[in-house]
A and B are shown apart, each in its own frame.
Chain A
Amino acid sequence: MDPVNSPLGRMLLDEITPVVMVLRTNLVEESCQKNGLSLIEMLSPFCAFNNIDVPVRTASDQPYRIQKFKLRLFYASDIQQPNVEVAKERLKQAITHAGEKDYSDLCSDPPQIETVLASTQSELVPSWFPFFNKELVHTVSFSDHEALDHPVACLLVVSSKDNEPINKFVDLFNTDQLPSLLNDGAMDPKILKYYLLLHDSQDGTSEKATKYLTEMRNTFGSNDCGLLCINSSQDGLFEHQENPWALYKTESSPSQRLGCFLNIDDMDELQNSMQDLSSKHIIPHMEQKIRVLNQQVSATRKGLRNQIKNLWWRKGKEDMPESFNGLMYTFSSIESQIRVLADYAFMLRDYELAVSNYRLLSTDYKLDKAWKRYAGVQEMMGLTYFMLDQSRKEAEYCMENAFNTYLKIGLAGQRNATRCGLWWAEMLKTRDQFKEAATVYFRISGEEPPLHSAVMLEQGSYCYLFAKTPMLRKYGFHLVLSGDLYKKCDQIKHAIRTYRGALTVFKETKWSHIRDHVHFHIGKWYAILGLFDVAINHIMEVLACSHQSKKTQELFLRDFFQVVQKTGKTFEVLGLQLPVIDTPSLKVVFEDHRTYASPEAVSVKESLWRSLEEDMIPALSTIKSNWLDLQPKLLPKKHKESNVCVAGEAVKIEIGFKNPLQIPISISGASLICEHSTRSDKIEADATSLTNENGNNDRFRNIASSGECSSDASSFIVSEVDISLGGGETLLVQLSVTPKLEGTLKIVGVRWKLSGSVAGFYNFNSDLVKKKVAKRRSKMKQSMTDNLEFMVIKALPKVEGFIRHLPKTVYAGDLRSLDLVLKNPSAISVKNMKMKISHPRFLIIGNQEVMDREFPACLEKKTNSDAQAKTNYASDTVFQFPEDALIHGETPFVWPLWIRAATHGNISMDITVYYEMGDTSTVMNYRTLRIHYNLEVLPSLDVSFQISPCSLRLGEFLVRMDVVNRTSSKNFQIHQLSSVGNEWEISLLQPIDAIFPSELLLAGQALSCFFKLKNSRKSVLIDDENSSTAPLEGSDVSLSHRSHDLLFDICRSPLVDFHHSERVHQGMENQEKSNTVDFILISRQQRSEGDSEEHNSLNILSHHACACSIASTSPVWWLVEGPRTIHHNFSASICEIKLRMTIRNSSKDPASIRIDPSDSTSIGNTTSVSSGNEAGWYDISLLNDVKVTSDVLGTRSGKSLSRECVSLFIWSGMSSNRIKLEPMSTTEIPLQICVFSPGTYDLSNYFLHWKILPSNEHVNQGDGTRQSSGTCQGHPYFLTVLQSS
């Protein structure tokens, strides 16, 4: 860029121009004031020439023409260094003034970063910066260390009205009034003078003036005098098309028309006289002076001789104290003259001459250590280089040098440093070195008072923005710094402006610390200005600052409330972030035909309920069983998909309120915002919802705010909830709305009040796209809006139900009788009630007659047990209440239930009650009530059974029962053991007192006892069909010490039902019964002292062990009988012993059996380990002592024994026997062995092979599961043969 056209160039051409000192009389000023102008103001527009076209010849012989020229006019009184304080005040006013002007767009949103980057300098940078900079530069004018501001000429103006104008002229140039610059010798007092006589045309004709002029010409010389006539327009109504003074007059009052008495002639005259002054007097004078000075300088300083002399001379001066520096150089000193020469050359654009002289001068000053002057010269040198547009490096170096030197000399140079810095920065900006310029601004700001420094920082920040690669972060940072300083100086508007700029950078940043700071402060400042809306918007941005420290959060919140309070009303905020609404947690609970007894029931999966209700709910097709059905009964098709709720029944919304802060906040009046429309205006609502997003928001706002006032009269009731959230807490809040009228209800959002002063709204609709709702009807892919829209139908009866006295915690096996209570508060009755229970193992439906009986007496065995109570195995199917069970009104309907805690753990029980409306004209003709309970079941008794065949008798078994009390504190009393089924008979082996001296089973105690189990089944075939359906019978053994205790009847409901479910659960239902036994152990829980059991009597616990298999898996039982001890005289003969084997086929099919006595040598090797038989046993060290008897099949002990009996015996009489056995029949086989020597023999070394021969009708059945053949090793049978004497 051409330096002349650059901002700096223009500034220099403007600022570094010859100064003309103006002296005038009061009358002159009076005449000018008629136009509302001072003399200088009047002349100023005519002192700037764009096309003066004057030839100039300076030191060289080559003349050149200058076009642009300007004179600066100053009153003599103003030619002095401006007072710092006054200057500061003026600058401050300039800034404040600028701030007022920019005020208008402060409230708008900060621009986007892209637009900022795209905008040009002039668009973005405030226009008052150049003005401010100029003012700042002016504060250091008229310094004595440079000749730039030294007056070149003196303009003396006297009015024609003045008495004796000639004398006035002389008086004016009185040294007393002259500026100190002229007086103290800083500049040559012999100055070019121009005498101007001002004639006010209103005071008469110009004759007198002309006379005076001639007089003046005679006195002061003909050339240096002039006459100026003004105020030729008599009426003062002259209008100027383009008022030339507007630019120069800063505070023009609109009423005052500037230059109203000056007509075109006057203006021409003004222009002519000023041009005359410039071209004919000032410029030639300067030329002249340059030439003279140049000659002098050449004579004294140019040439080798002079230089050496100069050096020598300077050296001599080195000892001079520094304090004389200021006064060392008078106007007559060669240094000052060089300076004047250089400055004049600069003003006349002979930059080559200027720079050579500046260079010359700078070495001198440097040697003299006259730092301020040195810096001044360096500064000018830099500028001259710039104007020459050459050696950029040099120019920059000079500026930096000057800047640093000014700073070095401290306070005296500070302001000059600022000016130098400004020029330097401008220079860098011209050369696109914005980053460096920014650094310079930053350096200036360090030296300036806060307010100026703020302006400098702001200018610097824009430099970062306009740098080749924009440095946005630095831009933002410097704006923030600048804003802080503005704020410090109470320039809030400027502070806001800078922060707004910073916000464009920081708005989207993840550097939350910085962003929060900016938002918070700008918000506070807006509040100071009273722009509360904007203020709150900004502060709200930082409210949910979970990352900030607690202290900061408190501060933010406190200030926020302060601002809100200042507004004086409850402020309404859409999308208030305190608390955060956790939309994913939104859950809608409403009851259409599904109703819930408790909130827990709602949380059970819908699919679970569905499967439970499958059988009860009539299919859709059955609803409209025939086409004659009334049409209105069905829902209008349109609403098929929408949710249905019933008038008068609350729709509940569960939503999470989350406090992101560490400090507690209080929320009051949280409620839903709803929209209700009767069906007719539904269409209209649809139409409005089609409008765009913005419209939607507005509408939402309307609804939100209107809802508040009209809720009492409206068609729905919303609940209000007050909560207080601790730091970081999330609360699930249940809000409900109860529609009162039919129509459409739409839940739009949620409203709350924060700390009682700020109303927050949240529109569910706003971000429906992202959100998935945990909806009951999850299958439907509906948008959330639809999900929150309900069709309200007429009020319906709604049955409520609960289970009375259901304990929270029970012990496993606990059996109780409970009541299901159903209530229908509405007047319309319901009918056709059905019920289904999810866990028949735990809960079964009782009979009504049980109601009146005492528990547990109803379970006890009656001697005259009248027929069998009917069993309802069908409890896993739907239970139909009696037809007459119509409930309505306040009288509750009670139905008995049995509960038995089958296993320990947490059990959830679901019950569905189906009912139909008594009144068939309703839209909905059935509903279901869903009841859900959770039950914690603690372990109580562990019962296990082990059965082994009795070795002595066929068909008899030894049952060992192990009971362990698993509780930690409860004692149980074993009451009764029953075997189920009529084929088994159980009896005690010993009296109960002997095996179980203490009546109670204490906590942690284990007990084993033995029973005899006898297969009582007659060998006669019982037809199978009967046996499975026949009522269960059983045999019971009382384990109670008190003989009067009645036994419980296991064949009655509910025990039998529970036993059935237990069997079903254990998967044994279809098992062959002959090999398994079911046991029921009934115990009672002993009440400990102080145990305030709410319940009436002892708790009864039943433990069911199903399908305990008898030890042998083979259907073939056998028993070897014979003598155990024999005395025989071996000397006489070998001993032959007769044995008898009884074999029974217990299966339903005939079996083929082969007895195979093995070779006796293989005894040692028969290692058929039958550890599998020990299943069901677990090692309890306590039981070791009784183990011997249990090892009936014990091959282990058998083995050890067999090793001892070395002597042999031989099976005689048979080698292999094969027999066929009919089902359920017994046969006997004689056996014989020969013994050769006395000893003890184990006769188990035979094998029994058996094979079931399937009868025809059973061919296909049970083959997979049942063994059809097998081999058994013989039972141990010990025989002792003694030598008889």
Chain B
Amino acid sequence: MIVCVAVVGHQNNPVYIQSFTEADDALKLHHIVHCSLDVVDERVNNPKKSGPTLNETFLGLLYPTENYKVYGYLTNTKVKFILVTTDLDVRDADVRNFFRRFHSAYVDAVSNPFHVPGKKITSRTFAERVSNIVKSFGLSSAG
């Protein structure tokens, strides 16, 4: 299950963060997402040598905590997407697919002329779309 998704701006400012848990663990998830930015930075600063990863947006597993797996995705504009999941067995393809859809939802949201770049996304449509994507996570290929 996805417990949290987040969009982080290019200055590492939170643009959108949404948890999908019942429990009151917003702070923890904030911390996890925030910490994972360190890993994103590290990945960006020390890119792997191999060729195909040159323009790769998908950063893969950022870091496994005790209960969570954190995946990252970095757009060309240095906007980061973070996914926190409790599933311990996650297929890479699913995550890639998720990020691709998440990215396009984000692009649509920031294309709104009333959206101020760098500010938090407050669009309800975006939230709905994201929660749909989250709900359908893993279903497309698994089922």
A residues near B (Cβ < 8 Å) are 446, 464, 469, 471-474, 476-477, 480, 509-511, 513-514, 517
A513 and B27 in contact, given A469-B41, A469-B45 (Cβ under 8 angstroms): yes
Q: Does B14 lie within 8 Å of A510, measured CB to CB?
A: yes
Interface hub of B13, B26, B30 (most chain A Cβ within 10 A): B30
Contact of A513 among B30, B35, B39 (CB under 8 A): B30
C-alpha gap A514/B12 in the complex (Å):
14
A477 and B27 in contact, given A471-B42, A510-B13 (Cβ under 8 angstroms): no
Q: Which residues of B contact A509 (CB under 8 A)?
A: 34
C-alpha gap A726/B105 in the complex (Å):
36
Interface residues on B, range: 10 to 19
Q: Which residues of A contact B12 (CB under 8 A)?
A: 510
Given contacts A469-B41, A471-B38, A511-B14, 19 further A-B contacts (CB under 8 A): A446-B66, A471-B35, A471-B41, A473-B35, A473-B37, A473-B38, A474-B38, A477-B35, A480-B31, A509-B34, A510-B11, A510-B12, A510-B13, A511-B13, A511-B30, A513-B26, A514-B31, A514-B34, A517-B27
Interface hub of A471, A473, A476 (most chain B Cβ within 10 A): A473
C-alpha gap A511/B35 in the complex (Å):
11
Nearest to B38 among chain A residues (CB) is A471
Q: Which residues of A contact B31 (CB under 8 A)?
A: 477, 480, 514
Minimal beta-carbon separation of B117 from chain A (angstroms) = 14
Nearest to B118 among chain A residues (CB) is A510
C-alpha gap A211/B94 in the complex (Å):
89
Q: Does A514 lie within 8 Å of B27, measured CB to CB?
A: yes
What is the total of A-B residue contacts with beta carbons within 8 Å?
40
Q: Does A473 lie within 8 Å of B34, measured CB to CB?
A: yes
Give residues 32-67 of B contacting A (CB, 8 Å): 34-35, 37-39, 41-42, 45-46, 66
Interface hub of A469, A509, A511 (most chain B Cβ within 10 A): A511
C-alpha gap A469/B66 in the complex (Å):
24
Q: Which residues of B contact A480 (CB under 8 A)?
A: 31
C-alpha gap A474/B66 in the complex (Å):
15
B residues near A (Cβ < 8 Å) are 11-14, 26-27, 30-31, 34-35, 37-39, 41-42, 45-46, 66
Minimal beta-carbon separation of B50 from chain A (angstroms) = 21
Q: Does A469 lie within 8 Å of B42, measured CB to CB?
A: yes
> Can you name 16 A-B residue pairings with CB atoms under 8 Å?
A464-B38, A469-B42, A469-B46, A471-B35, A471-B42, A473-B37, A476-B34, A477-B34, A477-B35, A480-B31, A510-B12, A510-B13, A514-B30, A514-B31, A514-B34, A517-B27
Interface hub of B26, B35, B39, B45 (most chain A Cβ within 10 A): B35
C-alpha gap A471/B43 in the complex (Å):
12
C-alpha gap A471/B26 in the complex (Å):
22
Q: Which residues of B contact A513 (CB under 8 A)?
A: 26-27, 30
C-alpha gap A464/B30 in the complex (Å):
19
Q: Which residues of B contact A517 (CB under 8 A)?
A: 27
C-alpha gap A469/B38 in the complex (Å):
9
Minimal beta-carbon separation of B101 from chain A (angstroms) = 25
Minimal beta-carbon separation of A886 from chain B (angstroms) = 61
Minimal beta-carbon separation of B78 from chain A (angstroms) = 15
Q: Which residues of A contact B14 (CB under 8 A)?
A: 510-511
C-alpha gap A517/B35 in the complex (Å):
16
Q: Which residues of A contact B39 (CB under 8 A)?
A: 471
C-alpha gap A446/B46 in the complex (Å):
30
Minimal beta-carbon separation of B131 from chain A (angstroms) = 19
C-alpha gap A754/B31 in the complex (Å):
33
Nearest to A446 among chain B residues (CB) is B66
Minimal beta-carbon separation of B41 from chain A (angstroms) = 7
Q: Which residues of B contact A464 (CB under 8 A)?
A: 38
Q: Which residues of B contact A473 (CB under 8 A)?
A: 34-35, 37-38
Minimal beta-carbon separation of A480 from chain B (angstroms) = 7
Q: Which residues of B contact A476 (CB under 8 A)?
A: 34
C-alpha gap A464/B35 in the complex (Å):
11
C-alpha gap A511/B13 in the complex (Å):
7
Contact of A472 among B11, B13, B38, B46 (CB under 8 A): B38
Nearest to A472 among chain B residues (CB) is B38
Q: Does B35 lie within 8 Å of A474, measured CB to CB?
A: yes
Q: Does A511 lie within 8 Å of B42, measured CB to CB?
A: no
Nearest to A471 among chain B residues (CB) is B38
C-alpha gap A464/B38 in the complex (Å):
10
Q: Which residues of A contact B66 (CB under 8 A)?
A: 446
Q: Which residues of B contact A474 (CB under 8 A)?
A: 35, 38
Q: Which residues of A contact B41 (CB under 8 A)?
A: 469, 471
Minimal beta-carbon separation of A1237 from chain B (angstroms) = 78
C-alpha gap A275/B46 in the complex (Å):
54
C-alpha gap A923/B26 in the complex (Å):
66
C-alpha gap A474/B36 in the complex (Å):
8
Q: Which residues of B contact A477 (CB under 8 A)?
A: 31, 34-35
Q: Which residues of A contact B42 (CB under 8 A)?
A: 469, 471
C-alpha gap A1283/B66 in the complex (Å):
121
Q: Which residues of A contact B34 (CB under 8 A)?
A: 473, 476-477, 509, 511, 514
C-alpha gap A517/B11 in the complex (Å):
21
Nearest to B41 among chain A residues (CB) is A469
Q: Which residues of B contact A469 (CB under 8 A)?
A: 41-42, 45-46
Q: Which residues of B contact A510 (CB under 8 A)?
A: 11-14
Interface hub of B11, B27, B31 (most chain A Cβ within 10 A): B31
5 A-B pairs with the lowest CB-CB distances in the bound complex, closest first: A471-B38, A510-B13, A513-B30, A473-B38, A477-B35
Q: Which residues of A contact B35 (CB under 8 A)?
A: 471, 473-474, 477
Minimal beta-carbon separation of A464 from chain B (angstroms) = 8
Nearest to B17 among chain A residues (CB) is A513
Minimal beta-carbon separation of B107 from chain A (angstroms) = 22
Minimal beta-carbon separation of A430 from chain B (angstroms) = 22
Nearest to A478 among chain B residues (CB) is B35
C-alpha gap A1268/B67 in the complex (Å):
97
Nearest to B46 among chain A residues (CB) is A469
Nearest to A506 among chain B residues (CB) is B34
C-alpha gap A609/B8 in the complex (Å):
53
Nearest to A475 among chain B residues (CB) is B38
Minimal beta-carbon separation of B25 from chain A (angstroms) = 11
Nearest to A516 among chain B residues (CB) is B27
Interface hub of B12, B13, B14, B34 (most chain A Cβ within 10 A): B34
C-alpha gap A474/B42 in the complex (Å):
12
C-alpha gap A701/B45 in the complex (Å):
49
Minimal beta-carbon separation of B45 from chain A (angstroms) = 6
Q: Which residues of A contact B30 (CB under 8 A)?
A: 511, 513-514
C-alpha gap A513/B14 in the complex (Å):
10
Nearest to A514 among chain B residues (CB) is B30
Nearest to B31 among chain A residues (CB) is A477
Minimal beta-carbon separation of B13 from chain A (angstroms) = 4
C-alpha gap A477/B34 in the complex (Å):
9
C-alpha gap A444/B116 in the complex (Å):
45
Minimal beta-carbon separation of A509 from chain B (angstroms) = 8
Minimal beta-carbon separation of A1281 from chain B (angstroms) = 77
Minimal beta-carbon separation of B121 from chain A (angstroms) = 14
Nearest to B29 among chain A residues (CB) is A513
C-alpha gap A701/B39 in the complex (Å):
46
Minimal beta-carbon separation of A1141 from chain B (angstroms) = 71
Minimal beta-carbon separation of B68 from chain A (angstroms) = 13
Minimal beta-carbon separation of A94 from chain B (angstroms) = 28
Interface hub of A480, A513, A517 (most chain B Cβ within 10 A): A513
Q: Which residues of B contact A514 (CB under 8 A)?
A: 27, 30-31, 34
Minimal beta-carbon separation of A1280 from chain B (angstroms) = 74
Nearest to A517 among chain B residues (CB) is B27
Minimal beta-carbon separation of B130 from chain A (angstroms) = 18
Nearest to A464 among chain B residues (CB) is B38
Q: Which residues of A contact B45 (CB under 8 A)?
A: 469
C-alpha gap A1035/B38 in the complex (Å):
93
C-alpha gap A339/B27 in the complex (Å):
50
C-alpha gap A474/B27 in the complex (Å):
14
Q: Which residues of A contact B11 (CB under 8 A)?
A: 510
C-alpha gap A511/B30 in the complex (Å):
8
Q: Which residues of A contact B37 (CB under 8 A)?
A: 473
C-alpha gap A446/B65 in the complex (Å):
12
